[in-house]
Amino acid sequence: MQTIKGPALFLAQFIGQSAPFDSWDGITRWAADCGYIGVQVPVGDPRILDLDRAAESQDYRDEFLGIAKQNGVDVTELSAHLEGQLVAVHPAYDTGFDAFAPAALRGDPAARQEWAVDRVAKAIRVSRLLGLDRMVTFSGALAWPYVYPWPQRAPGLVEAAFDALAQRWRPLLDLAEQQGVDICYEIHPGEDLHDGVTFEMFLDRVNDHPRANMLYDPSHYVLQQLDYLQNIDIYHDRIRMFHVKDAEFRPTGRQGVYGGYQSWVNRAGRFRSPGDGQVDFKQVFSKLTQYGFDGWAVVEWECALKHPEDGAREGAQFVRDHIIRVTPHAFDDFAASAVNRADINKALGIS
């Protein structure tokens, strides 16, 4: 067993246009002031991390890590969520996801995909150059518009979608193997990898690739009504990253899992700040510790009600209160005695 590292904060929801959220120095100072000792860094905003410079310049990488260290935080992992999303986009979502790509590529799905693959590859290489051994991304989705089986799906449609998804990701997984970096897919609605079954369908098609792993976020499982504790029992060997995000699901006679097209505030299932929802984090931390999870507990703040800065500060203490410092010895070692084979045989009646 190992003691989980943390608390850390995913910065994506906090980057903004005003200080301290508009610069690497400012946001890391703020995170440390909130009580965090680590930050998870998205690769899409050059004010925070210039991915191109990081890929080319040792001086830039040293400065980047040095500022973080000086301000009291470690860089835990890189996030290429939005770039991974663009690796596979169904045409129904072209317009919505175009916003994630540079303006010059909008309206050109093929060029957008090529750009996204290059950015994910660069995030893999930069992770290694920064001394990191895992990163997080989305899988993207080709089959998501067909998640509900009505109208009836054409035979082979889902299989073809997963074949294509695996074909797009296999070269990136092979690159990750060369670089010694795990690709951790956030299992998330809207992605083709949105639960355990779909993750297994993907694994089958990439031949159980050792670099195809999971980011575990129980909030997404609450909203799907999936057993998030048993999920750890099943997939602990593949869980390499962890988001501490809470959620609640309160179905009514009017709406359930699908939410009735309502805003986040008015959905039966909604995200909450850590400790304000229904996730049993005592059990989550216990199971991850039991199975030897060696990564960071990273707060991903998303809540329709609470102010983000309040959620961030409360989240740091919440994680600190839930991390289990593992015991160096068994609780009943005080009663242990030296092994004596003759006494053992006597106790068992063995001559």
Integer Cα distance of 106 and 114 in angstroms: 12
Give percent of the chain with pLDDT exceeding 90: 93
* Omega before 109 within 30 of 0, i.e. cis: no
Using the predicted structure, report yes or no on whether residue 132 has a pLDDT greater than 60. yes
For residue range 42-65, what is the model confidence (pLDDT) as tens digits?
999 999 999 999 999 999 999 999
Q: pTM, whole model, 2 decimals?
A: 0.94
For residue range 183-206, what is the model confidence (pLDDT) as tens digits?
999 999 999 999 999 999 999 999
SS3 at position 49: coil
CA nearest to 271, candidates 239, 308, 317, 298: 308
With contact defined as beta carbons under 8 Å apart, do 112 and 84 qualify? Answer: no
CATH code of the domain covering residue 121: 3.20.20.150
For residue range 106-122, what is the model confidence (pLDDT) as tens digits?
999 999 999 999 999 99
Burial status of residue 248 (CB atoms within 10 A of its CB: 0-12, 13-18, 19 or more):
middle
Residue-range definition of the domain harbouring residue 73: 5-348
CA R_g for the chain = 22
DSSP 146-182: GSS--SPPPTTHHHHHHHHHHHHHHHHHHHHHHHT-E
With contact defined as beta carbons under 8 Å apart, do 79 and 137 qualify? Answer: yes
For residue range 299-338, what is the model confidence (pLDDT) as tens digits?
999 999 999 999 999 999 999 999 999 988 666 565 566 6
Between the alpha carbon of residue 109 and those of residues 26, 98, 163, 189, 226, the distances in Å are: 36, 8, 19, 22, 33
> How many CB atoms are closer than 10 A to CB 260?
11
What confidence category does residue 344 fall into, taking pLDDT thresholds of 50, 70 and 90?
Answer: confident
Please give the pLDDT value at position 98. Answer: 96
Please give the pLDDT value at position 68. Answer: 98
Please give the pLDDT value at position 343. Answer: 81
Neighbouring residues of 6: CB distance < 8 A, sequence distance ≥ 6:
37, 38, 244, 296, 297, 298, 319, 320, 323
Query: How many domains would you assign to the chain?
Result: 1
Between the alpha carbon of residue 113 and those of residues 2, 31, 52, 55, 150, the distances in Å are: 39, 33, 18, 20, 29
Integer Cα distance of 74 and 51 in angstroms: 18
Using the predicted structure, report yes or no on whether residue 258 has a pLDDT greater than 90. yes
With contact defined as beta carbons under 8 Å apart, do 84 and 137 qualify? Answer: yes
Neighbouring residues of 89: CB distance < 8 A, sequence distance ≥ 6:
97, 109, 112, 113, 140, 141, 142
With contact defined as beta carbons under 8 Å apart, do 212 and 137 qualify? Answer: no
Using the predicted structure, report yes or no on whether residue 154 has a pLDDT greater than 60. yes
Return the C-alpha torsion angle 128, 140, 82, 267, nearest 10: -130
